[in-house]
Amino acid sequence: MPFWHAQLAAWKEAWQVKNLPALPRVELTPPDQKGTLTLNIFPLLRAYRGDVQAATQAVLQPLPHILQAEVVKGFVNIRFAPAFWGEFLREALLQPQEGYTRLSLAKADKLMIEFPSPNTNKPLHLGHLRNICLGECVSRLWERIGATVVRANLVNDRGIHISKSMLGWKKFFAPATPATTGKKGDHFVGDCYVAFEKAYKEEVEALKAQGLSEEEAMVQAPLFQEAQALLQAWEAGDPEVLALWREMNSWVYAGFDQTFARLGIRFDKVYYESETYGLGKKIVEEGLARGIFYRSADGAVWADLTDEGLGKKILLRRDGTSVYVTQDLGTAELKFQDHPDLTQSVYVIGNEQDHHMRVLIALLRRLGKPYADKIYHLSYGMVELPTGRMKTREGTVVDADDLLGEMHARAYELITEPLPEEEKQAIAEAVGQAALRYYLLRVEPTKNIVFDPAESIDMKGFTGPFLQYGYVRAKRLLEKAAEKGYAPLQGELPVQLESLEESVLQYLYALPHFMEVAARSFNPALLAHYGYELTRRYNEFYQTLSVLGSEAPIRSFRLGLSAVYAAAIQAVMEALTLPVPERM
């Protein structure tokens, strides 16, 4: 409901006093109709026996400053008088932080938001960037509406894939290091992993040529056997294996930290699966003892979830080592040990793991964990190439660092303002990232994104730089006004407003609504579209009407409008994780 929240509360109250059957829906009036807000009174007509006049009057009575109300079918379109907008702009300007762009709606909520949880055997790619943008954006949105947020990263630092990169290093790279090769640590380790996969594939092909099936070949290949032995040695605590593991991880972390820093994200808490899988195993043992799980003849431990349509799930291999879900059980428990007062535990994970997450929640429910129902899987679609999925082994992965560099270079080319080199670099970084991040956030999380490396990400139109540009122009306008001694919202208000002004005001007014809905629905795309539409309207206003050149009361009002626009779009960009440049 796009009523600025404080006013909405008063209005709702007035309604409850009347004891009417239903509140009318409040919507933004569509652009082709005259008005700012529309009250949809269709649902009320029954109570008023089809008397549109009576229903309209009842609805309008508690609202202040109505200039005009037009009834079209079941819709009551309201326009507000300049006095209303003057009040609104003043309040928004007085408290751009607490009252307008930051809300106190979710003070009781405390969320842990887990992202991006990378594996430590390859560098970050475009899929991780989508994950990071979503996770950080959702975190900021909830903070904006008043909640406490704990950002958590879960590092998948153990498992067969790690053994593979370790073997890859031993066989093909040792004793080289990132330091000796000058390569970024995560990329270096990624190369080790790819080298392993290549050699492994060759072994599998050779075995298949000898008549083995694909499945047999994959298990019997010497490199795979070696990797498994390495994993067992790791779980047994072999000091030599652990030392190499630690060293290679430190290379990867140094690389990740560099990319995280460039993206401006940090975590309140980092979990390592190497530290949580033990707890996971313990939970499985307990479940086994309580008869919730069972042991098969070969010694593996299972959960039977067939009655929930989730099939059977292995929890411990026959050699006793843990699998993915085992460590996730431990991590889930640990999160609530660390923060017992969490109201929600959010996992930002791709939709390829929808099934896995359902299994995890089902297992926790069976174990009687009260937090099982506080888990929310923020599932998002894949970032695909026109040719299909990105695949490490085929070298079609779009590397995060490469893409950031490319965006920076392209943004740099577009800078026309004469500015010092250092500032140009900073702007290029801000604009490049905004284009990339907006591109990833403007699509609803559930949908797949097709990224075509041949067609670069746009900087014009429905893009991040579009929002930045609107902001920069508004700020420069305000600066120039200040130089001339013009102040916003001084003296009298204009007698009547231009429709282009009302168009901007309508959207400014709706900011808190969009902020709240985007947060609660975990859907940044809503705010991305809001920010675009708001800026589109402001640009139209800016392009068509003069601010500095207009008469005093109008100028002052338009400056107020511009100041609130700047505050609003800044808040939107911050929530969407877009950098906010002052020039471009």
Residues 565 to 584 in contact with RNA, rule: CB under 7 A: 583-584
Return the residues of window 450-469 that contact RNA according to CB under 7 A: 450, 458-463, 465-466, 469
Which residues, including other chains, have CB under 8 Å from residue 508's CB and lie 6 or more apart? 88, 92, 534, 561, 564, 565, 568
Binding status of residue 499 toward RNA by CB under 7 A: no
Binding status of residue 66 toward RNA by CB under 7 A: no
Amino acid at residue number 542: Y
Q: Single out the residue of 260, 532, 557, 565 in contact with RNA (rule: CB under 7 A).
A: 532
Q: Single out the residue of 338, 354, 394, 492 in contact with RNA (rule: CB under 7 A).
A: 354
Which residues, including other chains, have CB under 8 Å from residue 219's CB and lie 6 or more apart? none
Return the residues of window 368-397 that contact RNA according to CB under 7 A: 381-382, 388-389
Task: Give the nearer residue to RNA in terms of CB position, either 148 or 324.
Answer: 324
- The CB-of-370 to RNA minimum distance in angstroms stands at 25
Return the residues of window 272-301 that contact RNA according to CB under 7 A: 273, 298, 300
CA–CA dist 155, 272 (Å, integer): 5
Q: Which three-class secondary structure state does DSSP give residue 142?
A: helix
Q: Single out the residue of 36, 101, 139, 156 in contact with RNA (rule: CB under 7 A).
A: 156
Segment contacting RNA by CB under 7 A, of 7-15, 178-186, 369-377, 475-483: 475-483
Return the residues of window 403-442 that contact RNA according to CB under 7 A: 411, 414-417, 427, 431, 442
Helix (H) or strand (E) holding 4, with range, is none
Q: Single out the residue of 161, 335, 377, 437 in contact with RNA (rule: CB under 7 A).
A: 161
- The CB-of-568 to RNA minimum distance in angstroms stands at 16
By DSSP bridging, strand 37-40 and strand 66-72 are unpaired
Q: Single out the residue of 9, 10, 14, 33 in contact with RNA (rule: CB under 7 A).
A: 33
By DSSP bridging, strand 75-80 and strand 37-40 are antiparallel
Q: How many residues bind RNA (CB under 7 A)?
A: 97
Q: Which three-class secondary structure state does DSSP give residue 110?
A: strand
- Contact between 375 and 387 under an 8 Å Cβ cutoff? The reply is no
Two tokens, residue 122: 């390859």
Task: Give the nearer residue to RNA in terms of CB position, either 180 or 318.
Answer: 318
By DSSP bridging, strand 344-350 and strand 110-114 are parallel
- The CB-of-304 to RNA minimum distance in angstroms stands at 9
- The CB-of-475 to RNA minimum distance in angstroms stands at 8
Q: Single out the residue of 61, 180, 225, 446 in contact with RNA (rule: CB under 7 A).
A: 446
Binding status of residue 340 toward RNA by CB under 7 A: no
Return the residues of window 200-229 that contact RNA according to CB under 7 A: none
Return the residues of window 95-134 that contact RNA according to CB under 7 A: 119
Burial of residue 211 (number of CB atoms within 10 Å: 0-12, 13-18, 19+): exposed
DSSP code, position 122:
S
Strands (E), 62-214: 66-72, 75-80, 110-114, 148-155
Edge-to-edge order in the sheet of strand 110-114? 269-272, 148-155, 110-114, 344-350, 375-380
- The CB-of-220 to RNA minimum distance in angstroms stands at 13
- The CB-of-584 to RNA minimum distance in angstroms stands at 4
- The CB-of-298 to RNA minimum distance in angstroms stands at 6
- Contact between 468 and 581 under an 8 Å Cβ cutoff? The reply is yes
Return the residues of window 43-62 that contact RNA according to CB under 7 A: 43
For 365, phi then psi, to 5°, come to -60, -45
Task: Give the nearer residue to RNA in terms of CB position, either 110 or 275.
Answer: 275
Two tokens, residue 280: 């996971």
